[in-house]
């Protein structure tokens, strides 16, 4: 019996040795070089999917970087807000970062070549300086960087800066006008502006008709007020015409603007509507001849004339006179048109003066050519 018990214990011992030999205790032997040292785990890991950028975001224009700096007193610098209010009389200095900067500022400073304004380009920034500022300098000041390839440059839309500056001056609620009476043309296919701009952002501005005397309601549908432009007629009509003025109130004071004559435009925008007429198409030797070229157009659109005529090559030997004129005409119902004319006069006609007389009229929208012929009877 003892023999069988001894044999059973030996078998159990051998089985235990086999099991422990297949699964040795952890960390009982040193790791071989390159052996995996990461502990296995049964934890499920959610795979990370890379985010795909929105197509619209990829196509969106690059973000604009403001490059303008306003130099304050005591050498301090600050990025200007969309609008600034500064007392007239002080010096304005604006800087824009970049080695090639372009500027825009109130147009009259250029028109009158104002010596108070100077623009300089330094190595790393452009600088605009305006000394002895006045209420008339109120307006938009902006800058932008230039991208150049050789001699060809274009505006860098990502590097711009702008601010609208109100220069406040005692006794000046309105931005001064160079004249006491301005004409505003009302065209049915574009906005018209009565430029009552103020120097105080908080000023209350109203629009008035001189006769019959009344305030014109600004309803936000037909007429709106833009502090940077004035009263804007969104859809001008013939009944909007008349003599108008603006009134501003601020700080317990009020002021009246200059007067504005609103005229309705009859002729639509486009190339010149041109006609040509000779005093006679049948002439005899020794006669005098006049050829008239006429354009009916918008009141504020200038027209230039060019002529081609038979005796042009010997003009120095021929007494030829060309005179250009224009005037405004009123054609009923308040419609106003600009009539531009060019008249060619030739005295003592000769055989070299017969043939085609060609007139070309040109404006910003294009040009029109008309012709007539003159021959001996």
pLDDT at 19: 47
Across residues 45-56, what is the average pLDDT? 52
Residues 199, 251: contact at Cβ < 8 Å? no
pLDDT at 174: 95
Dist CA 337 CA 196 (whole Å): 25
Residues 225, 205: contact at Cβ < 8 Å? yes
Dist CA 62 CA 47 (whole Å): 33
Three-state secondary structure call for residue 174: strand
Q: What percent of the chain has pLDDT over 70?
A: 78
Residues 148, 102: contact at Cβ < 8 Å? no
**pLDDT per position as a tens digit, 104-154:** 998 878 766 778 999 999 999 999 999 999 999 999 999 999 998 887 888
pLDDT at 46: 56
Which of 115-119, 125-129, 162-166, 182-186 bottoms out in mean pLDDT, i.e. has the lowest? 182-186
DSSP per position, 57-120: HHHSPPPPEE-EEEE-GGG-EE---SEEEEETTSPEEEEEESSSEEEE--THHHHTT-TTEEEE
Residue with the two structure tokens 């054609």: 331
What are the helix (H) ranges across the chain? 2-22, 55-59, 108-111
Nearest to 122 by CA among 106, 139, 100: 100
pTM for the structure as a whole: 0.60
pLDDT at 34: 46
Sorting pLDDT into bands at 50, 70 and 90, what band is 186? confident
User: Is residue 221 scored above 60 in pLDDT?
Assistant: yes
Which of 9-23, 145-159, 292-306 bottoms out in mean pLDDT, i.e. has the lowest? 9-23
pLDDT at 28: 47
**pLDDT per position as a tens digit, 236-280:** 988 898 899 999 999 899 999 999 988 887 666 678 888 999 998
Instruction: Tell me: cis bond preceding 227? Omega within 30 of 0 counts.
Output: no
Dist CA 222 CA 240 (whole Å): 10
**Residues forming a β-bridge with 25:** none
Dist CA 264 CA 266 (whole Å): 7
Task: Select, from the ranges 42-56, 101-115, 190-204, the one with the highest average predicted confidence (pLDDT).
Answer: 190-204
What average pLDDT does the chain have?
82
């Amino acid at each position: 019996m003892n023999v069988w018990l001894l044999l059973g214990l030996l078998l159990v011992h051998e089985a235990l040795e086999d099991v422990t030999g297949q699964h040795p205790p952890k960390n009982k032997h040193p790791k071989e070089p390159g052996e995996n040292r990461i502990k296995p785990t049964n934890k499920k890991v959610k795979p990370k999917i890379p985010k795909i950028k929105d197509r619209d975001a990829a196509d969106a224009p690059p973000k604009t970087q403001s490059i303008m700096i306003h130099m304050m007193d005591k050498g301090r610098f600050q990025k200007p807000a969309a609008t600034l209010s500064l007392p007239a009389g002080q010096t304005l200095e604006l800087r824009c970062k970049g080695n090639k900067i372009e500027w825009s500022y109130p147009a009259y400073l250029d028109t009158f070549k104002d010596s108070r304004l100077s623009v300089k380009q330094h190595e790393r920034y452009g600088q605009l300086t305006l000394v002895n500022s006045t209420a008339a300098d109120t307006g938009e000041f902006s800058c932008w960087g230039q991208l150049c390839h050789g001699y060809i440059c274009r505006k860098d839309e990502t590097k711009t800066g702008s601010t609208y500056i109100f220069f406040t001056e005692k006794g000046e609620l309105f931005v001064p006008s160079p004249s006491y009476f301005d004409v505003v043309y009302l065209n049915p296919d574009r906005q018209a502006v009565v430029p009552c701009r103020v120097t105080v952002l908080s000023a209350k501005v109203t629009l008035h008709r001189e006769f019959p005397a009344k305030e014109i309601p600004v309803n936000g549908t037909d007429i709106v007020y833009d502090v940077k432009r004035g009263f804007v007629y969104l859809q001008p009509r013939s009944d909007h015409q008349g003599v108008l003025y603006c009134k501003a109130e601020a700080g317990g004071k009020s002021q009246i603007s200059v007067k504005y004559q609103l005229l309705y435009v009859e002729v639509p925008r486009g190339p010149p509507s041109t006609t040509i007429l000779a005093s006679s198409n049948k002439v005899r030797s020794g006669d005098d001849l006049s050829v008239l070229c006429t354009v009916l157009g918008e009141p504020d659109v200038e027209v230039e004339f060019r002529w081609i005529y038979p005796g042009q090559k010997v003009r120095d030997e021929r007494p030829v006179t060309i005179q250009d004129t224009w005037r405004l005409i009123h054609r009923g119902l308040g419609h106003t048109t600009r009539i531009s004319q060019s008249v060619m006069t030739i005295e003592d006609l000769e055989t070299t003066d017969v043939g085609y007389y060609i007139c070309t009229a040109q404006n910003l929208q294009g040009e029109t050519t008309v012709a007539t012929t003159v021959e001996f009877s």
